[in-house]
Structure 1
């Protein structure tokens, strides 16, 4: 693909990911970009009076976001073009009582969030970010984002001399082996608690909040190594959280670039990596409640959904050159080979022949190559928000994504052409009228 097209797109993608170490920061960054593009922020607690021709967005829990372009067309006649992704990624989360002391070192207690590839978290320069909830001057709970930005923690490996079997037979105890190291415990100092460290960081960010006023927090550790284009010909994107911030970014860019009379919706929800069963997850009511408020009449809402379609965008497993046998021989997506249609007979993906045919047609019209992924029959298949959203709101859905290596590692790898290609297809999807419905 033309480097003049891909390079600016990928540079901005890398900036987006770097600005989004947690779902809270990703949602704030998307909200900022939407506001700059002229979208109006609405709040779920307010009464809505959405106007034809309006562009709106709404957030929930500061970690999920929904953006909607409301054209002048009748919803029940045209339906809605929907793209879904998720804001969360597997990581280490800080425990509520985080202070851990061991042989003169201060550590931070963590728990595993999602299907983390744990061995990749050793010996990385880690920082901490997330959301703090504190008591304000009126003794009311208030929240704000925090980001240490610089490396403040590390999980050191055990030396090979102390574990001679490490390269042959190694297992990781999630309770004992991955507690990050923060600092040497100050001698004769029992006052430096984790909350005190948070208070000091907030002061550096311009917020004076006493440690005693911090009520709780939701914090993640993250790798401070910046996203980068790598490879001899810069053919690959190496970054944390490609699953699934890449799809959030692609969906957002497609939404902002598309024009035409189609109603367009982007929804990026939290908690996909742990099943989506939350108020702000895809298994929760956020999308359905939005549709109920948008289309109060049940008949009109059902007619709208019958004419609607969702693209669930999440990363796909590219065929790894060192582990070719892990793929079905006829379904081996290549990095930079184009977006992947994900299929599973047991509904782990929501793709069917109708939605797959629609996506293939769009790829053909956009001049984009398309690939397919099906798991080996003797291996279990992961899942996405696709089947969940289809079941929750009853909308036709397809699961797609860009091929990726090292999914759920602290640093994943994708092709530098694929995100741009997926954006081109989703932009066409957002603007092109589609006739849906089976013929008998």
Structure 2
């Protein structure tokens, strides 16, 4: 058995908990990842500017997505890439365009349901409000009201005697949070946002706002060998990928290491910042062309490129073991998982397994395999999309957790460090 909680593990996991707490939205996650990259010497480049072929670390931010890469000394236009793919978005409740609503003396905010969220986990929780504001001058501003503001109150058992035999929630009627007393007033949210940011209300012309639990991420368990927190699907991978990229940049890698953190994975990746959009391909191509390459160099570079698509997977659940495959029981604390599905819900094949196991062995990290019970439909990731869109070899991996898509998920405290070490070994070649 591996030893729990050596000092390096704890430092990485401590930093992950800080990252989760500071990243209630994809926009905040990208800003926090960019801050870590800046400290490691990476520099932002603008998509609208001309790019040069200089060596060193660069990154592009577009909305809730970030692509970062490091060009080592001696890289040619045909040097292949090593890509860590992840996503910044998590299932949650998001504010509607005309949000001010309410009834019977309660002020409420209208919300849409984003992604495949476990609705009941949002009930009776203290919720904050965060996201990005679009301004009249064309700029944007992040906002994070990280305090108890809202609550989706559950109906008392006295008024729903059969609730423990099956809770049924209407997504439109039952998920509207309360945030005050009195009559609903048009402009209520806008006035709040102006107060929160110091902006004038007329200067705010739009928003991408979402709710988050304000309960802090924390170590959990008798021996503190677990972590509980929000958005581990999939900020755990974004954080690990950021750490791995900065580590790889210090090691003179034979490849060009890349971190691709996409938005909108939880609803199909079809956006300009999602994995099915052109963002990653554009960045990789422009990197080739900026170093003096052409179509042939791009084709050669892509042919030698490998992507590890890192997303959370399912640890075996002690209370529902029958929902898992009988011979594949990934455990929290057991190291990263290789995700396999022959119907290409995951992109892994045998050659990909060899790449992943080599990285785990170089990092000295234990690893496990996940495959679904044949009677339980399998989820999917950015892996198959990335493989098909760009024609690059892709392997699906991740960390095994419980309570996936809950407002608060559960993982092993050692697994974030194991994942980051594996990704660093992969990127360093």
Superposition TM-score tier, normalisation by shorter sequence: over 0.9
Query: Compared with structure 1, are the counterparts of its residues 191 and 251 closer, same or farther at alpha carbon in structure 2 (3 Å cutoff)?
Result: closer
Structure 2 counterpart of 1:133 = 134
Give the distance between the partners of 2:85 and 2:377, measured in 1 at CA.
23
Give the distance between the partners of 2:378 and 2:191, measured in 1 at CA.
44
Q: CA deviation at 1:33?
A: 1.2
Q: CA deviation at 1:417?
A: 0.8
Structure 2 residue 216 is matched with structure 1 residue 226: yes
Three-state SS of the structure 2 residue aligned to 1:148 is strand
Give the distance between the partners of 1:313 and 1:106, measured in 2 at CA.
41
Q: CA deviation at 1:210?
A: 2.2
Structure 2 residue 6 is matched with structure 1 residue 9: no
Query: Compared with structure 1, are the counterparts of its residues 363 and 183 closer, same or farther at alpha carbon in structure 2 (3 Å cutoff)?
Result: same
Q: CA deviation at 1:245?
A: 0.2
Alignment check: 8 A CA contact 1:355 1:398 kept? yes
Three-state SS of the structure 1 residue aligned to 2:53 is coil
Give the distance between the partners of 2:211 and 2:78, measured in 1 at CA.
47
Q: CA deviation at 1:306?
A: 1.2
Give the distance between the partners of 1:2 and 1:76, measured in 2 at CA.
42
Pick the aligned partner of 1:59 from 58, 61, 74: 61
Q: How does 1:71-220 map to 2 (within 5 A)?
A: 71-75=72-76, 78-135=79-136, 140-185=137-182, 190=185, 193-203=188-198, 209-220=199-210
Question: Over residues 70-115 of structure 1, what are the superposed CA-to-partner deviations in whole Å (9 max), with x where a residue is unaligned?
Answer: 0123446541111010000000000000001200110000010000
Structure 1 counterpart of 2:317 = 320
Query: Compared with structure 1, are the counterparts of its residues 211 and 39 closer, same or farther at alpha carbon in structure 2 (3 Å cutoff)?
Result: same
Structure 2 counterpart of 1:246 = 236
Give the distance between the partners of 2:345 and 2:399, measured in 1 at CA.
17
Three-state SS of the structure 2 residue aligned to 1:150 is strand
Give the distance between the partners of 1:246 and 1:16, measured in 2 at CA.
9
Alignment check: 8 A CA contact 1:366 1:424 kept? yes
> Normalising to structure 2: TM-score of the pair?
0.95
Structure 2 counterpart of 1:404 = 401
Q: Report the more deviating stretch, 117-126 or 290-299.
A: 290-299
Gap runs ≥5 in structure 2: none
Three-state SS of the structure 1 residue aligned to 2:420 is helix
Structure 1 counterpart of 2:21 = 18
Give the distance between the partners of 2:347 and 2:269, measured in 1 at CA.
15
Structure 2 counterpart of 1:435 = none
Three-state SS of the structure 1 residue aligned to 2:275 is coil
Structure 2 counterpart of 1:260 = 252
Structure 2 counterpart of 1:358 = 355
Give the distance between the partners of 1:224 and 1:2, measured in 2 at CA.
26
Q: CA deviation at 1:238?
A: 0.3
Give the distance between the partners of 2:79 and 2:201, measured in 1 at CA.
53
Q: How many residues align?
A: 419
Give the distance between the partners of 1:215 and 1:46, measured in 2 at CA.
27
> Normalising to structure 1: TM-score of the pair?
0.93
Alignment check: 8 A CA contact 2:78 2:297 kept? no
Alignment check: 8 A CA contact 1:335 1:418 kept? yes
Three-state SS of the structure 2 residue aligned to 1:145 is strand
Structure 2 counterpart of 1:30 = 33
Q: CA deviation at 1:260?
A: 2.0
Q: CA deviation at 1:213?
A: 2.8
Q: How does 1:410-425 map to 2 (within 5 A)?
A: 410-425=407-422
Three-state SS of the structure 2 residue aligned to 1:130 is strand
Q: CA deviation at 1:379?
A: 1.5
Query: Compared with structure 1, are the counterparts of its residues 191 and 248 closer, same or farther at alpha carbon in structure 2 (3 Å cutoff)?
Result: closer
Alignment check: 8 A CA contact 1:128 1:222 kept? yes
Query: Compared with structure 1, are the counterparts of its residues 352 and 182 closer, same or farther at alpha carbon in structure 2 (3 Å cutoff)?
Result: same
Query: Compared with structure 1, are the counterparts of its residues 49 and 185 closer, same or farther at alpha carbon in structure 2 (3 Å cutoff)?
Result: same
Give the distance between the partners of 1:252 and 1:291, measured in 2 at CA.
18
Structure 2 counterpart of 1:436 = none
Structure 2 residue 281 is matched with structure 1 residue 279: no
CA RMSD of aligned residues (A): 1.3
Alignment check: 8 A CA contact 1:276 1:284 kept? yes
Structure 1 counterpart of 2:329 = 332
Give the distance between the partners of 1:428 and 1:213, measured in 2 at CA.
47
Give the distance between the partners of 1:190 and 1:249, measured in 2 at CA.
40
